[in-house]
Structures are given as C-alpha cells and as structure tokens.
Amino acid sequence: MVIIQSYLIAVLMCVITMLCWGSWANTQKMASKKWAFQLFYWDYSLGVLILSLILAFTMGSSGEEGRGFLADLAQADGSAIGSALLGGAVFNIANLLIVVAINIAGMAVAFPIGIGLALVIGVVVNYVATPLGNPVILFIGVSLVAVAILIDAIVYKKHSGGKASGTTKGIVISILGGILMGFFYRFVAASMVTDFAVPEAGKLTPYTASVIFALGLLISNFVWNTFFMYKPVSGEKATYKDYIKKGDTKLHLIGILGGMIWSLGMTFSIIASEQAGYAISYGLGQGATLIAALWGVFIWKEFGKAEGLKGMLVAMFLFFLVGLGMIIAARLI
C-alpha cells in the first residue's frame, strides 16, 4: 500500500483534509433548496463509501510495503472492525446534528462552533491516547482556535441582533454535534496498526479502516437518518418515497460528490497520522472550521455586510491561522 515517510507530506495531506472537510457542506447548500438534507445525506453516505473503496483498491492495494486491502480485511479481528464501525456510527450522528445546525444557523456558525469544539475535544482525547508533539505548543494552538470559535459565536449573535428564532437552537445543536464529533476519530485510531510498513496482525491499515468506518456510517444511517427524516428537528418530514420520487440525477450526484470530498479528507488524515500523530492530524483536519467560515462569509454571504463587525471577523480568522500554525509547529519543536 502507499504510505508516507515525511512529516512535511503528512502536513500537506492534512491541509487537503482541511480543505475537504471545510468544503463538502457546500454541496448540501447547493441541494438544500430542492432537496431535504436528510435525503441529501443518503447520497452523501454512499459517496463516503464509494471514495473509500476507490482508494482502498488503488493506493491501498499497490506498493511493496504494508498489507494490501483485501489481505488486510481478511486478517482483521472483530475488535478492530468493531472499533472502526463504531467510529462511523458516532461520526454519523455527530455530523447529522451539525448538518441540522447548518440548516438552521448557516455554515459560518455551525462549523466554527461544532467542528471547532470537536477540534478541542478531539486533540485532547487523541493526545492523551497517543502523545506525540510538544504539548505546550499544541494546546496553545488549540486554545487560540477556541478563542476564534468564541469570537465567531459573538459575531453571529450581534449580526442576528439576538432575535433570530433559530439562533439558540442552532448553537445548541452545534455544541452537541461537536462534543460527539470530538470522539469518533479515537475509535478509528484504536482500530489501526501502529506501523503502517510492517503492520501487526489483527489491526487495520488506514485504507481498510476508512472502508469499515464508511460502512459504519452507512449502516447507522438507517437508524440516525431515518429518525431525522420522520422526526425532523428543522424543516419538514421526509420519507423514503420522497428519495425515490423527488430526486433527479443531478441532486443524487451532488450528494455523492459531497461524500466523496469528505471521504478523501478522512483517508488522507489517517494516512498522515503515522508521521504527524493522531492529535495533530485530527487537529489540522478540523481546521476545516476556517475553510467553512470563509465559504460562509465570502461566498454564501451569511453575515451580509456585517456592518461594524469586520474587525471581529478579521480577528477570528487571525486566531484560527495562528492556532493552526502552532498545531503544525508542535511536531517540530
């Protein structure tokens, strides 16, 4: 399988993860006017699995080091498979909550609050499990990102005048989704081998872990997403009949594309984790908050002209950038 031996390449892969994780929700925004997010999410889930399989049968099945995808899958033990499946299920409910929050409060709010909180929790959880990097530099960087999250929430509250009916609901759902999101990566990491080039028996290589994770996401969708379809927190009820009758090829392809974008980021993140460490790899990937906020502010105009708030928006982005820079530096100092 294809593995990397350089921290610099690992950082570049994490930057790709950040771009993917911060951009996939644009596909949901594109489809939302014609397509309930619950219906979009079925195609998204399929896209995650499709891309993980493509990478497993290409990058995960070539090269001279490690184990090929099918051989790795055949030797995996139940605990490793179960851990990766659980990671997919936990991610799924967390992500659905954040998608609901995007529907209510917009990308520029739901991502910085939900995914930003997930960054803080995820870095702490993964660093405790696998300490790698300078903890002082790492956690200062995470703290700066947390400040950026707080600024973002303040800006949104001021922009809405505190009167928007969905403001409180959107923030609460973002927080709940963020807490759950902070733990899914640890379950995937626990399923994986420690040495990608010479993998131990029973555990999964990153490509196989990505596929099992995607299966956990898709299978759990029959529980989590079915609930949101028939008991929606936001918007109208959707049914399986709607998915068959109302969706055209374009809408289905948009959802699948969104899942494939996110899945590319996930696989690259866990490939990079051997060199970067799980805490840094996850933390950099969750810099997606910055990318999503940029989309929300400049493309989707979710803050409008934001009169009197431009200085706070600039401060938010600066805190994010400096924080992410320190997370990268934590492995070098």
131 backbone φψ class: left, alpha, beta (φ>0; ψ -120 to 50): beta
pTM: 0.90
Residue 328 has pLDDT above 80, yes or no: yes
Question: Which DSSP category does 254 fall into?
Answer: H
Q: Closest by alpha carbon to 145, among 288, 9, 273, 15?
A: 288
Domain span including residue 194: 7-329
Confidence category of residue 226, pLDDT binned at 50, 70, 90: very high
Tell me how many domains the chain contains.
1
pLDDT of residue 106: 67
Q: What is the pLDDT of residues 12-35, one digit of tens each?
A: 999 999 999 989 888 988 887 788
Give domain status of residue 33, yes or no.
Answer: yes
Give domain status of residue 2, yes or no.
Answer: no
Average pLDDT score over residue span 156-185: 78
Q: What is the pLDDT of residues 193-215, one digit of tens each?
A: 999 999 999 999 999 999 999 99
Q: What is the mean pLDDT of the chain?
A: 89
The one-letter code for the residue type at 145 is: V
Q: What is the pLDDT of residues 262-302, one digit of tens each?
A: 999 999 999 999 999 999 999 888 878 778 778 877 777 76
Q: What is the pLDDT of residues 93-136, one digit of tens each?
A: 998 898 788 777 766 677 678 877 888 899 999 999 999 999 99
Secondary structure of residue 192 in the 3-state scheme: strand
Distance, in Å, from the CA atom of 5 to the CA atom of 12, rounded to the nearest integer, reads: 13
pLDDT of residue 138: 94
pLDDT of residue 63: 87
Give domain status of residue 247, yes or no.
Answer: yes
Give domain status of residue 1, yes or no.
Answer: no
Residue 75 has pLDDT above 90, yes or no: yes
Average pLDDT score over residue span 69-92: 97
Give domain status of residue 300, yes or no.
Answer: yes
Distance, in Å, from the CA atom of 147 to the CA atom of 116, rounded to the nearest integer, reads: 10
Average pLDDT score over residue span 156-167: 60
pLDDT of residue 307: 60
pLDDT of residue 68: 95
